[in-house]
Copies of this chain bind each other. A is one copy, B any other.
Amino acid sequence: MAWRSEIPEPKVDVSFTERVPEGDDVARDVCDTCGFIHYVNPKIVVGSVVEHEGKILLCRRAIEPRKGYWTLPAGYMEKGETTEEGAKREAHEEALAHIRIHDLLAIYNIPRISQVQLMYRASLSVPEIGAGPESLEVALYDWDDIPWDELAFPSVHWALTHYRAVQGQERIVPFGNPPGERGNRMPLKSG
């Protein structure tokens, strides 16, 4: 899982000044040392709600932020992969899981941190899971046992709730953010 914490800081002292580069129309951070323009694009998180025999795969985070809390296998998309490939890679990295992607469950926007999350519906293609390096433990939860009070992020809550709302439906229109939600607060238990 790599929502925000995973990108290490630069190893040397680098200072940036925000200004509009020539030929651009938006202010960017420009390195005071070498003039390099730091384009901060919105980042794509790819993840999945993975079902196996009616249970849902959750991972307990071994890293900050929200260490010790439960999350879905998800993380930043890498260069050169597709969104589906990224979601599969994250399930493999965090839960040692091999998954089959079925369809797109939701697109969530967290504009405060310029993040777009693509969450897929998936299932285990091999009935094995295990904790990867970013997970303390992984588990398959019955719906009624999901630890709602210990979920890591609002969007984990949203994705589980949305998944449940269309469980068993074959062709679905992907969800967006719950009305009015921007990812800034944790919803109450929906159970």
Contact = CB atoms under 8 A, between A and B. Distances in A.
B34 A111 contact: no
Contact of A77 (B24, B38, B85, B116): B116
A15 to B, nearest CB: 10
Report whether over half of chain A's contact residues are helix, strand or loop; otherwise say mixed: loop
Interface residues on A, range: 35 or more
A126 interface: no
A8 B14 CA distance: 21
A34 B104 CA distance: 41
Nearest to A76: B41
Given A11-B35, A31-B34, A34-B36, A42 B111 contact: no
Interface in A21-64: 21-24, 26, 31, 33-44
A168 interface: no
Contacts of A37: 8, 10-11
B26 A21 contact: no
Nearest to A35: B12
A8 B23 contact: yes
A140 to B, nearest CB: 26
A172 to B, nearest CB: 7
A118 B107 contact: yes
A172 B172 CA distance: 8
A161 interface: no
Contacts of A76: 41
Contact of A36 (B14, B172, B173): B14
10 contacts: A12-B34, A12-B36, A36-B38, A41-B43, A41-B44, A41-B76, A41-B77, A42-B79, A83-B109, A103-B173
Interface of A: 7-8, 10-12, 14, 21-24, 26, 31, 33-44, 76-85, 103-104, 107, 109, 111-112, 114, 116, 118, 171-174
